[in-house]
Structures are given as C-alpha cells and as structure tokens.
Structure 1
C-alpha cells in the first residue's frame, strides 16, 4: 500500500475485505431511459438517473433507486445522516469513511476508453461546493441543501447507447435476485407495448410563479467583478470564478422540468437526482473526473460564446472564442491548476495534457475545453483523487485556496450543490463525475440556479455579466420563466 493524499495508508478498490459481489443480466431489450424512469422510479423518494442525453449514440444511462437494504448517506455541515428510511437519522462518522466500508469483489475493470462492461454498482449522488471548501479549511456559508448525498446503488438499470443494450446490475444476493426478476418482467412488458409518441413539454405547464430573484443585482455583480480585478492586481489570485445565484418560486414538478431541460440541452452528463425533498436537475456539459483502469481524466471548460442565429453568425462566434486571448488564458490557467492537483495523486511523470483549447458546440453555447490525464500512483483510490482535486479549479480560480478565500468574502452566501460535482463512485474503483453547472436545484416550492464565470485582468465587466445571464437563460426557460 501507498500513503494517500491525506497521508494515511489506503488501498484501491476493490479491496481485500470485499463485501459485495456483482451480477449482470443482459435483457436484450431496447427501451428509452425516460420511459424506464417514469415507469419504475418516478415515485421513489430517493432515486437517480445519470443521463447520457436524449437520442444519445454513445455512453450509458444509469437508473435506479437508493438501496432498500443498505444505508445511503447525506452530509450537512459536520453532521452525517443515514437515509435508509423516509426520515434521515443522524449518525457518527465521516462520509468518506463510510463510503470506503462497502467494497466490491475483485472484477476486471474495463479500459478507460471502453466503460460499457464496467459495473455501475456503488454510490450515486453529489458533493456540494461547501463540502469541499470545509475540507480545505476555507470558511463556508451554511447551505440550505445537503452538502453531500451518496445513495447506495446496489441495483442499477444500465442502458448502453452504443449497442442499445439494456442490462440489470445487482448485488448477487436474495434481495438482488428478486429485484432483477421483478424489474426484468416489468421492462419486458413495457418493451412489448407500443412506444408512446414523444411530445414537447409546454413551458406554461411548468408554472414558474414568481419573479427571478438574483442574490446580487446587476450593479452589485459588476462591483464584485471590479473587486476581483483589484484582488488580481494585488496578487491575491490570477483567476477568480465569480458566481451568482437565481431563485424563483415554482409549482412545477421536477420531472417535467427535467424533461424540458434535457430536450433543450442534450447534455452528455445530464442527471436527475432526488434525495427526499431535494431534487437536482443537471444538464452539465463538463466532465470533472472519469476514473478507470488506474487513470483519471478531467476536462475543464473555460470560455463561452452564445450560438448564432444563422450559420455564418454561429461560425463567427465559434472562431471568436477559439481566438480570444482572455478565454484562452483562462482555460490555460485551469489546465495548469488541474495538472498540479492531479499530480498529487499521479505516478511521477504520469500527468499529460491530451487536448488543449478545443471548441465544443452545445445546444445554446460554444465552449473552450481541454483534457488532462493522470496515471494514478499505486495504492490510491477514487476518494484520494477527490481529496486532491475538489472543488474543481474550473469553479474556484487559481491559486485555489487564495481564490476561494477571496470569493467567500465577495459572494456572501453558499453555492450549495452548484459548483460541486455529481455522478457515481464505483465499488470497483471506477468513477464518473460531472461538474454541477447548468443545473437547477428544486426544493419546497423554490428552484435555485447558480451561474458564473472566470474573472481575469482582461475581463470586460459587461461581457462577464452577460455570460452569467446566458448560462442561466436555458435553465430558467425550462422552469417556464425568463429573466432580464
């Protein structure tokens, strides 16, 4: 074994004290994940849908509910809670410790470029921004939402969009086999029925019932940008990822909002995560961490332009982004920060940049993306990588600790789930986590949306403000409201 990022001895998953044994049942069915969720999971109190996107041709969609026989967990502040029943129950311990207790029997991990046969069993949920800030010793505001939620996923419906194959993955015990038999029968019955006609979701039916309330007004946000640039000139940071939060009252059903959001965005890292009264709806385009075969990959996104209404305008905006000095510098700063973070858990010489300053086009925006790859040192696991790299530099700025301290003073409120990460931690040592951006959090008749951008010495304040509004616009539209 090798020392982990926090100095303790650790070993990779799978571990010698494995307590879960996976089984896979291939169904030979082609079925839409939205239909699966609505049929089997829409009524579950704790449920997940990690969504590869509408009409996806690659990747996997993973669907399931929190295990009825193994505890799930949430962290709020310094208190750990179990989610085994309808009401959370406080318990002792640290979240990272309890996550390490459930281990998977040794199975071959799929190579990093072919994850289809990798077991998805493990934990599904999110780590919020304040969860990471507190572990770095940065002062953090109390969030209204859990700082972290990890649902025990011991039975998962996996849909491979490349092969159109549906599989059931489950822990091979009596409970798991009973679930597989019942789920297989339900899915086979649904597959025999005519496929329902998919229609758009009417914005009016989503019923945003109040005005959009921003934590910071436009004038305040412009003043915060000026303060960021003062801090940069003073040498406190060279990039600050400044954010704002929009809140709107709504009587909409979260699933209807997510259906609208996924039709508009077609994001590669979509998610519908429900933990009791809190539902997270994400159309994230950004991969934070993919871990498989002893390799960690991150793809920071920095640099944004809107889509053009006409092909010529769209091409002009794409070229403008690719050539923009400020956007390129911002992306390079985050690449350097992520190289440094992953270097703490990589073997010597094992960090490389495999893609630099590539423009990717999404439904509403063009974005500038790079890829950093790290071959992990022996003896380190997924949680070691998280400890070294979270919160992600693309949501903090650089240098990370100084940037986060400056932002805490300026933003004057919690980010909550926004700016964190969401996805799965596999019991076999694999992981796939997306950045929590382009995301709506719904709870108790309110929806919140975080939005922000990277501030550098070259930033033009009015353009930065416009970028914040652009990033939030599609999410507000999914709620059936608009904002100035």
Structure 2
C-alpha cells in the first residue's frame, strides 16, 4: 500500500487539480480512488498566533499564489452562531463546476463522495434547477452557476489559536508554507479610474417599482426584492486591495474573498443564509435598513425609528413566515421556531433588522437537501417565492448570477454555513468586467423614491471603494 500511495502521490502532484467526476466515477481509476481515500485524510496541527489581525492579512496575501481561494472573515463581530473568526481554504484537490441543470444532485453526490471540507458557492440562478424558472437577462460576468472544491490546504483561526489541516499529499509543504505566510505582508494604495454605469436609470427604476406595485395590489405577490446593477467595462483592478478596503469600511460578520482563476467575489455581507450545527438549522434573514450617523443622538434615533417602523417590520415578518415554511420541508414536526423577531443590529455602515428562525432535522436528511428546499433565500426573493422570482426576472435587466446567491462551506461531519451574497463586488479579470448590485424589498407600503434612496445607501460602500 505504501508503494501505491507513493505512485499516486507522484501522479497527483503533477496535476494542478482533479475534476470530481473524472476521478470519482471512472472505473479505470478504482485503484487510484482507494489511495485517494487514504490521501484525503488530513494532517492536523495547532499553533498559537501572537497577532491574529496581522496573521489574517498575511494569510490572505499568501493565498494569492493559488488558483482557488476562499477566505472567510467574521471581523470579530459578536455573534452566537460562529465556529471560527477566520478561515482560509486554497488549492483544489477535487472540484465540481456546473450550470443549473441537476446542480443540486451533482453537489449532493460530490459532497457524499468526498466526505471532506468543501468550499464554494450557489449562484442565484440554480433556482432554475428547483422550479420551472429561467434566467435570460444580460450577464457580463460568466461565472458558473455552481462551484465547489475540496481544498488541499485549510487554515482555521479562532482567537489566537490556529488549526492547520493539510491533505496527506501536502504534508511536506506545511512547514515551508507557515514560514512563507509569516513573511508575507503587503500594503498598497488603491488608485483606480473606473467609469461606473447604472444598468437601470432612475426614471426606469421608478417605473419598474410602480409596475411591481401593480402586481402587489392585484394580489400576485405580497413582497419582492428588486435589484439593479452598477458596472464598469474595460476594468483593470487589484481584487485583493478592493476587498481589503471594502472590508475595512464595513467590518461585516460574513466577509468573503473568493477567487476561481480569473473570477473574483469581494464580499462584505452582513447576512447569514443558513447554518447547520448538528441537527439544528439556523436562518437569519435581514429586512430593514437605516442610516448610521456620526452624532450619537441622531444615530440612536435612526436605530429606534427602524425598530418601530411598521413598513420595515412588515417586510421582515413576511420573510420570516416564508423562511418558516421553507424550513418546515426538512424539519422534525413542530421544531420550527422564531428565536428572535425583528432584532436591531448595528454595523459600521448601517443599522439592520434581523430575525433568527431555527428548526431541527433528522440525521438522515442530506445537507444538500436542506439547501435545495430553502434556496434561494427569502430575503432576496419575496413572497410567494416562485411568483416573486418570475416577476423579478421580468423587471430586472441583469442576470443576478452569484449576487444574492450564497458562499460557504460543508464540514466532514455534514454541518455547513453559508452567507447571502450582498454588499459585494464581482469581477471577471479575463473579461475586464466589474459589477455590483443593490436592491430593496417592495411591498404595498413602498414609496418608489424612498426605495431608490435605500439602494443608493446600500451602494455607498462600493462607490467609496471604487471611486
């Protein structure tokens, strides 16, 4: 067996990465598969970090040498449901990439076969795999609908304790990598000249919101999340610098730097989509936004007004009902509960209204099935969900793609944690196309002008970073 492992190690190290299905479902590779199962075991070491914030910066810059990167940062935001302060996963050993056709089944098979850490994303458009929906709007980014990878190298930081997990084929690289990380730190200044355009003009936006209000008053929907895109063509930028500035402005609990070759997500999301802890499922939809003020009295008044605003509470409660229904598809009967309704949370840029809905599942339920029956998240669609998604597709002018999708990870013991991709910049370096979108919830109480101003408020951080 040792001889076989050595042969396979030599073979695998000569490959940049292995497609999930070229190895995992081909009879010709049955012998190699047996060795891969052994190699997929991880060497785990622990280390104390003297300066965690400096180390996170070093870790992010060191990661740029790899084709696949997922960097997660909670920015030390106080939250009950959190396993790590920072996570870095790099360098795909296996991966799965697909369009929306059979996307959830492909992901389910991949997750069950690897039984390892997996990192990646579900784009908004995998909704088309769940229902008879489509996405024919303009797309300048060309990201796959779904992408996940099994990292060769994994770093998990909690406080000042670092856990490093390497696949066996990389054991001889751990020591040199740790030295390389600690010697890797860059400081630079962003100075970009970008011509940012608005896909939907203000006049068109107001007209489309009025059209959505017609659907609401007719009874077709109760609420829908309507989004618009800002974009720059012929854009040449340094993604890591944009991410760091965006993260510094917002300090959100679900910040993500994602890289897949020339495709980047620079995410400053405050919202969790779904988390699984053992048999417990946690969803935390956001609906309700208010400005921050430098003056403490004005800031407290803004926060209090958000808490008492009937329109914002109505938006949030409608989505809570939708989430309760989504979770009930996989929940043990009677286990769906609202742990917190319309809680007010403060971030560097805005105050947000957040609710927490939980359920309990049987151990026989596949993690991917829980995602399939709740995706896309209600906060980014509306209610009823399918009708809202059809109207969204009609009125929006850009394919959402990864925006309003979810990025996160599966653990080897079938837990997972995913964010909602909002307050984010997407960039395709090959196409030189940069994009960010913002949206708001439209209800019967909506004022089109005020909804437009809310969109601009949410876009403020992205404009500041890119201007």
Contact kept in structure 1, 2:102 and 2:129, CA below 8 Å: no
Aligned partner of 2:331 in structure 1 is: 346
- Rounded Cα–Cα distance in structure 1 between residues aligned with 2:223 and 2:201: 22
After TM superposition, the structure 1 stretch with the greater mean CA deviation from structure 2, 301-310 or 47-56, is: 47-56
Count how many residue pairs are aligned between Structure 1 and Structure 2. 418
Alignment of 1:232-381 (within 5 A): 232-249=216-233, 250-381=235-366
- Rounded Cα–Cα distance in structure 1 between residues aligned with 2:193 and 2:345: 31
Contact kept in structure 2, 1:206 and 1:252, CA below 8 Å: no
Aligned partner of 1:74 in structure 2 is: 97
- Rounded Cα–Cα distance in structure 2 between residues aligned with 1:208 and 1:397: 36
Aligned partner of 1:180 in structure 2 is: 174
Give 1:239 deviation, angstroms.
Answer: 0.5
Q: Deviations over 1:256-312 (max 9, x none)?
A: 101101111111110000011110010000011111111110100000011123111
SS of the residue corresponding to residue 48 of structure 2 reads coil
Give 1:166 deviation, angstroms.
Answer: 1.1
Give 1:133 deviation, angstroms.
Answer: 3.3
- Rounded Cα–Cα distance in structure 1 between residues aligned with 2:239 and 2:177: 24
Q: CA RMSD in A?
A: 2.3
- Rounded Cα–Cα distance in structure 1 between residues aligned with 2:297 and 2:454: 21
- Rounded Cα–Cα distance in structure 1 between residues aligned with 2:438 and 2:90: 29
- Rounded Cα–Cα distance in structure 2 between residues aligned with 1:140 and 1:303: 27
- Rounded Cα–Cα distance in structure 1 between residues aligned with 2:465 and 2:150: 29
What is the TM-score normalised by the length of structure 1?
Answer: 0.82
Gap change, CA 1:334 and 1:79, over 3 Å in 2: closer
- Rounded Cα–Cα distance in structure 2 between residues aligned with 1:323 and 1:54: 28
After TM superposition, the structure 1 stretch with the greater mean CA deviation from structure 2, 147-156 or 321-330, is: 147-156
* Structure with the higher fraction of residues in helix conformation: 2
Alignment of 1:195-206 (within 5 A): 202=189, 205-206=190-191
Give 1:79 deviation, angstroms.
Answer: 9.2
- Rounded Cα–Cα distance in structure 2 between residues aligned with 1:471 and 1:220: 19
- Rounded Cα–Cα distance in structure 1 between residues aligned with 2:77 and 2:125: 34
SS of the residue corresponding to residue 225 of structure 1 reads helix
Structure 1 runs not aligned, ≥5 long: 1-16, 81-92, 105-121
- Rounded Cα–Cα distance in structure 2 between residues aligned with 1:23 and 1:350: 38
- Rounded Cα–Cα distance in structure 1 between residues aligned with 2:331 and 2:77: 36
Give 2:373's match in structure 1, choosing from 377, 388, 395.
388
Contact kept in structure 2, 1:76 and 1:148, CA below 8 Å: yes
Are 1:214 and 2:198 matched, yes or no? yes
Aligned partner of 1:41 in structure 2 is: 63
What is the TM-score normalised by the length of structure 2?
Answer: 0.84
Aligned partner of 1:403 in structure 2 is: 388
Contact kept in structure 2, 1:296 and 1:375, CA below 8 Å: yes
Give 1:179 deviation, angstroms.
Answer: 3.4
SS of the residue corresponding to residue 389 of structure 1 reads coil
